[in-house]
């Protein structure tokens, strides 16, 4: 039975509580992986301004393994008096094996959303708000209680995915157009098919990728044409809109639809009629539109690249799919499900293999993870996947794991037991954490967060290449993505 040392209940409110004020969303740690994960809570809520992590049962976060010191690390809050912003600070307590964040040893630093902490062989991520939603969801897919989604089970994952799936179940039977937002490979088409399946509509689902078809052919694909409408039109062809009559039309990457096609699509939505090319009379259609994009459509409207009136018609409900780097607690469950999908339901993963999966940022999201597992099970006849089965991109990314220095507490926060501005690295030849100041000359170490203007300038220079920006800043891709989210920067504008 799991040990829940969270200070909060793992159950959630029901309809009777809907009228109550929403409780404050709390910060905390979400478990990503541990060999003995059954003995740990799926999430730990910060219910007091200070807590400790260690092997001893007196710690709020107890990690019962020999690689962890009795009192290994401390997390405490500080409030910036100038801005009243609360920050959570991680401090190693002179532990035998050190404390790691994002693959590097730390002495003390301010935690940022999705920072990955490793204590012994237990790996967590920091969540700045809403961690209580994760308390019931174990990394192997088991849930304390019932899942919120009962019918839509196509998406694999924990708390975040369950809430999205429940939202899909709620809106699928409604006559609402939907916009699915998410990066490439996050599962937007899976969502669209789920909406159609649960809608109860009699017609079929018709899908088209607006970015994959040349603009001069997109209209004929959507609206169809009559014989003789243009050279080579030797017969009538119904468009996808007509084929989706009484069903659902899925427009993938709608942000790439040309403006003239947008105008005609808007007319279809307003009149519920479609004019095939070369036709003299309209045809009645009953369709539901579901579209998807990784673009910022509101920014596109401002730039004149997308019609605002069409966006108003389509944007009746929004579904946001998080990238895989923001839901790494699902990686073990996803890896197991892909092993089963490709004929190896009992495949196991070594600890080093899982560490590599968690440390990688997955720029192509779930689709890339699927390819990784598919490749691994094809290359081995054994019972487990190890680091030799990793793709080159992940192996290359892991080369510096555990060797990189980390920047300590930012200098604009109050003084701490460890001097702000210094860098700390493990120097003990035995691999133990002594956290002596590094020999890196002043000014040559890793810099702090860039300003929004600096980050935009780097993105412009490197044409949106996150890896190149990270190399110039001396930061991991994950950290650059955090800054993009902080400044609300749409990466697609620079690519």
Domain that holds residue 257: 159-320
The region of weakest confidence among 11-15, 89-93, 458-462 is 11-15
Q: Are 207 and 307 part of one and the same domain?
A: yes
Q: Are 173 and 302 part of one and the same domain?
A: yes
Q: In the predicted model, is pLDDT for residue 142 greater than 70?
A: yes
215 vs 93, residue with greater confidence: 93
| Tens-digit pLDDT profile for residues 404-458 | 444 444 545 444 343 333 333 333 333 333 222 233 233 333 456 888 888 888 8
Distance CA(186)–CA(134), nearest Å, equals 20
Where does a domain end: 368, 397, 426? Answer: 397
Where does a domain end: 374, 397, 420? Answer: 397
Number of domains in the chain: 4
In this prediction, residue 21 carries a pLDDT of 58
Q: Are 23 and 76 part of one and the same domain?
A: yes
| Tens-digit pLDDT profile for residues 378-400 | 999 889 999 999 999 999 999 88
In this prediction, residue 286 carries a pLDDT of 95
Taking residues 220-247, report their average pLDDT.
84
In this prediction, residue 237 carries a pLDDT of 83
Q: With respect to residue 153, please indicate whether it lies within any of the assigned structural domains.
A: no
pTM: 0.80
In this prediction, residue 163 carries a pLDDT of 97
Q: Are 258 and 178 part of one and the same domain?
A: yes
Q: With respect to residue 453, please indicate whether it lies within any of the assigned structural domains.
A: yes
Q: Are 328 and 363 part of one and the same domain?
A: yes
What Å distances lie between residue 214 and 79, 257, 485, CA to CA? Answer: 54, 10, 32
Write the CATH number for 112: 2.60.200.20
| Tens-digit pLDDT profile for residues 23-79 | 678 999 999 999 999 999 999 999 999 999 999 999 999 999 999 999 999 999 999
Q: With respect to residue 198, please indicate whether it lies within any of the assigned structural domains.
A: yes
459 vs 441, residue with greater confidence: 459
Q: Are 120 and 219 part of one and the same domain?
A: no
User: Mean pLDDT across the chain, nearest whole number?
Assistant: 85
Q: Are 93 and 138 part of one and the same domain?
A: yes
Q: Are 174 and 288 part of one and the same domain?
A: yes
Taking residues 183-210, report their average pLDDT.
95
Q: Are 13 and 120 part of one and the same domain?
A: yes
Q: How many residues does the chain have?
A: 495
Q: Strand pairing of 61-62 and 50-54?
A: parallel
Taking residues 10-20, report their average pLDDT.
44
Percent of the chain with pLDDT over 70: 85
Q: Are 189 and 54 part of one and the same domain?
A: no
Model confidence band, residue 479 (pLDDT cutoffs 50, 70, 90) = confident
Distance CA(33)–CA(331), nearest Å, equals 9
In this prediction, residue 279 carries a pLDDT of 75
Q: Provide the 3-class DSSP secondary structure of residue 395.
A: helix
Q: With respect to residue 151, please indicate whether it lies within any of the assigned structural domains.
A: no
In this prediction, residue 19 carries a pLDDT of 53
232 vs 453, residue with greater confidence: 453
Alpha helices, DSSP H, located in 68-214: 159-171, 188-199
| Tens-digit pLDDT profile for residues 315-331 | 999 999 999 999 999 99
Q: With respect to residue 154, please indicate whether it lies within any of the assigned structural domains.
A: no
In this prediction, residue 448 carries a pLDDT of 67
Q: Are 111 and 239 part of one and the same domain?
A: no
| 239 C-beta neighbours (distance < 10 Å), count | 24
Where does a domain end: 292, 320, 348? Answer: 320
Taking residues 92-102, report their average pLDDT.
94
Q: Are 58 and 138 part of one and the same domain?
A: yes
Write the CATH number for 369: 1.10.8.60
Q: With respect to residue 152, please indicate whether it lies within any of the assigned structural domains.
A: no
Q: With respect to residue 426, please indicate whether it lies within any of the assigned structural domains.
A: yes
Q: With respect to residue 373, please indicate whether it lies within any of the assigned structural domains.
A: yes
Q: In the predicted model, is pLDDT for residue 469 greater than 80?
A: yes
Residues 476, 482, 488, 489: what is their CA dihedral angle, to the nearest 10 degrees? Answer: 10
What Å distances lie between residue 425 and 61, 110, 201, 315, 412, CA to CA? Answer: 24, 16, 60, 49, 22
What Å distances lie between residue 40 and 3, 64, 122, 285, 323, CA to CA? Answer: 5, 9, 9, 54, 25
Answer for the pair 229, 211: CB distance below 8 angstroms, yes or no: no
Write the CATH number for 259: 3.40.50.300
In this prediction, residue 443 carries a pLDDT of 33
């Amino acid at each position: 039975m799991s040990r829940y040392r969270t200070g909060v209940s793992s159950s959630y409110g029901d309809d009777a509580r809907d009228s109550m004020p929403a409780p404050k969303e709390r910060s905390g740690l979400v478990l990503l992986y541990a060999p003995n994960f059954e003995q740990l809570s799926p999430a730990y809520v910060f219910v007091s301004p200070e807590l400790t992590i260690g092997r001893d049962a007196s710690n709020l976060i107890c990690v019962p393994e020999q690689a962890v010191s009795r009192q290994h690390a401390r997390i405490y809050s500080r409030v910036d008096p100038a801005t009243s912003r609360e920050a959570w600070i991680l401090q190693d307590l002179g532990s035998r094996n050190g404390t790691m964040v994002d693959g590097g040893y730390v002495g003390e630093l301010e935690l940022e959303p999705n920072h990955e902490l490793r204590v012994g062989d237990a790996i967590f991520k920091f969540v700045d708000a809403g961690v209580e939603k994760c308390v019931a969801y174990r990394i192997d897919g088991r849930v304390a209680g019932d899942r919120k989604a009962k019918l839509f089970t196509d998406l694999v994952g924990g708390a975040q995915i369950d809430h999205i799936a429940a939202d899909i179940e709620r809106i699928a039977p409604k006559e609402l157009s939907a916009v699915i937002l998410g990066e490439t490979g996050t599962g937007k088409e899976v969502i669209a098919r789920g909406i159609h399946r649960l809608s109860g509509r009699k017609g079929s689902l018709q899908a088209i990728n607006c970015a994959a078809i040349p603009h001069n052919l997109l209209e004929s694909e959507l609206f169809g044409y009559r014989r003789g409408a243009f050279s080579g039109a030797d017969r009538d062809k119904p468009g996808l809109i007509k084929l989706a009559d009484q069903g659902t039309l899925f427009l993938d990457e709608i942000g790439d639809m040309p403006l003239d096609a947008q105008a005609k699509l808007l007319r279809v939505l307003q009149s519920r009629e479609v004019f095939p090319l070369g036709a003299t009379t309209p045809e009645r259609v009953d369709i539901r539109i579901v579209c998807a994009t990784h673009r910022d459509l509101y920014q596109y409207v401002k730039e004149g690249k997308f019609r605002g009136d069409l966006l108003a018609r389509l944007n009746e409900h929004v579904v946001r799919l998080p990238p895989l780097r923001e839901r790494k607690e699902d990686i073990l469950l996803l890896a197991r499900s892909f092993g089963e999908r490709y004929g190896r339901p009992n495949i196991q993963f070594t600890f080093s293999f899982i560490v590599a999966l968690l440390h990688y940022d997955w720029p192509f999201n779930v689709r890339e993870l699927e390819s990784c597992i598919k490749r691994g099970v094809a290359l081995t006849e054994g019972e487990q996947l190890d680091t030799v089965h990793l793709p080159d991109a992940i192996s290359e990314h892991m080369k510096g794991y555990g060797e990189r220095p980390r920047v300590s507490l930012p200098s604009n926060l109050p003084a701490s037991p460890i001097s702000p501005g210094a860098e700390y690295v493990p120097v003990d030849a035995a691999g133990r954490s002594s956290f002596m100041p590094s020999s890196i000359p002043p000014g040559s170490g890793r810099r702090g967060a860039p300003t929004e203007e600096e980050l935009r300038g780097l993105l412009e220079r490197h044409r949106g290449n996150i890896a190149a920006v990270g190399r110039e800043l001396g930061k991991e891709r994950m950290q650059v993505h955090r800054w993009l989210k902080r400044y609300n920067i749409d990466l697609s504008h620079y690519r």
